[in-house]
């Protein structure tokens, strides 16, 4: 699954994960409010077998499919996910 990861510019972590290209509008208004102002942290491809410290990847993927968004509480090094993916 291709995912866009957003973070609030007011407070570090949590992160809002949505399907790539849907933007923060995929989340309900009350959830989105926690990420405004916010910034796109990274775009990443995740698969359910990924092992990432601080992130339950299968749960995140399932929630994005079901609810269109997932809120992950950090700290999570999303750049390391990208690195793992590129090494495969």
What was the pLDDT predicted at 87? Answer: 46
As a whole number of Å, the end-to-end CA separation of the chain is: 16
B/e letters for 19-31, b = 16+ CB within 10 Å, e = fewer, are eeeeebebbeeeb
Dump pLDDT digits (tens) for 8-38. 887 777 999 999 989 889 999 999 888 888 8
- What domains sit in the chain, N to C, each tagged with a CATH number? 2-81 (3.10.510.20)
Residue 84 scores a pLDDT above 70: no
Residue 85 scores a pLDDT above 90: no
Q: What is the DSSP letter of 87?
A: H
Dump pLDDT digits (tens) for 39-72. 998 898 888 887 777 888 999 999 999 999 999 9
CB 32 within 8 A of CB 25: yes
Contacts of 85 (CB under 8 A, 6+ apart): 44, 45, 46, 50
């Amino acid at each position: 699954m291709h995912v866009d990861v957003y973070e609030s510019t007011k407070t570090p972590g949590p992160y809002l994960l949505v399907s790539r290209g849907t933007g923060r509008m995929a989340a309900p208004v009350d959830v989105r409010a926690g990420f405004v102002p916010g910034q796109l942290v990274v775009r990443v491809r995740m698969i359910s077998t990924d092992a990432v410290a601080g992130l339950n990847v299968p749960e995140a993927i399932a929630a994005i499919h079901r609810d269109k968004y997932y809120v992950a509480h950090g700290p999570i090094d999303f750049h390391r996910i990208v690195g793992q993916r590129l090494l495969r």
